[in-house]
Structure 1
């Protein structure tokens, strides 16, 4: 498979700018990953304090998004990038949006958890949601590592694993719906758990999107809305 390499420019300042936006994107991704770890720990420990701690960090990712978006805009305006440089900037700008939304989903989960904890609600499904969350965390962490290494082959494998997350979510959400039907007095708390599971499934989708941007950056082909098995077969033949 083809591998991506940064073009070296006569301007060392330009080289630094390109490397900086990738590093800043990875820092932003690391913050989102940490927030997901925190909310999963809040779930496993049923900790209101951890949910509150996460909500206090909410502005961090938002500010990173604004700063990094401005960096990319300045490079486009000053350097008028072409070819692989432009692909890098496009991939970064698209990834910014997905990472910011991951932060939004973790905050949504923290707010839902605080409501559940306030009701002193306990359920075996906290463990089930944590299990789903660990699968999502593995994919998110893997996608960020693939981004750091510009590893398109690993990105394809991770994108395929999103199907496992979707199947796990469907099964878990189906169980929660049955609980709501069986016990109408607890519809609200079980609905809250269902919404937490939905947020995790969406985070998995955002991690998959990042993988697709990696493939675009390395290969130069937009693989969105394409069957990932077909992508794997066509790209690995190259």
Structure 2
């Protein structure tokens, strides 16, 4: 982040960055907890994820207040204005990632209570790891303000989408095999959808890093290279 002659303004910008990173770290911890709860069939771990949502909401409010204060009192321009604008969008994506982790944890509890975990759910942990890697890389690119690294996050969304499609196909076959499979099948499909959304939010964060670093809006551009 560039240095400022106004040291108080510089401190406020650094505080904003630090708060966003702390919130991102909380998201990662919630995701790890959600998938651990799934893999270990541990309701207590799932409930810890759910409890963390209050802290995420508090983070969001604190960051929103700080951004408003910066915009109102500092009248930022150029890169500083882009950073403030980015913060308003990133905090929303982080809060929604937290929500999806909570949703995942809730479905895990239901699946545990349904009985033995169906084999059709075996692909969820790998999909979760891919989505979490996207979040980690997006946050890393934010720390270093590395547009090139951020662009690689966008490309990682395709494998997550591929996993999502395959899981849905397997779930459909599973539910068609026996009416008793419909309820757990729907829960597994929901878990996959939450992970797909987390990957989308990580992509949004990466796109905002590109906006910060380059002043370039890539949100509606394909991550895949154009055909010749």
Instruction: Please indicate, yes or no, whether the TM-score normalized by the shorter chain is above 0.5.
Output: yes
Quote the residue 2:207 is aligned against: 212
The question of 1:194 aligning with 2:189 is answered yes
2:36 counterpart of 1:50: no
- Structure 1 gaps, min length 5: 1-5, 232-238
Q: Deviations over 1:41-71 (max 9, x none)?
A: 0111111111111112110101000000100
The Cα shift of 1:127 comes to 2.7
4+ residue runs of structure 1 moved beyond 4 angstroms? none
CA deviations 1:95-149 (Å, max 9, x no partner) are 0000000000011111111111112232223331011101111111111111111
Q: What is aligned with 1:146?
A: 141
1:8 matched to 2:24: no
Quote the residue 1:93 is aligned against. Answer: 88
Aligned residues, how many?
226
Whole-angstrom CA distance in 1 between matches of 2:35 and 2:81: 36
The CA distance in 1 between the partners of 2:190 and 2:63, in whole Å, is 30
1:24-173 alignment, distance < 5 Å: 24-173=19-168
Greater relative contact order (CA < 8 Å, ≥ 6 in sequence): 1
The one of 12, 15, 21 equivalent to 1:20 is: 15
Unaligned runs of 5+ in 2: none
With the length of structure 2 as denominator, give the TM-score of the two structures: 0.96
Q: 1:175 aligns with which of 170, 174, 178?
A: 170
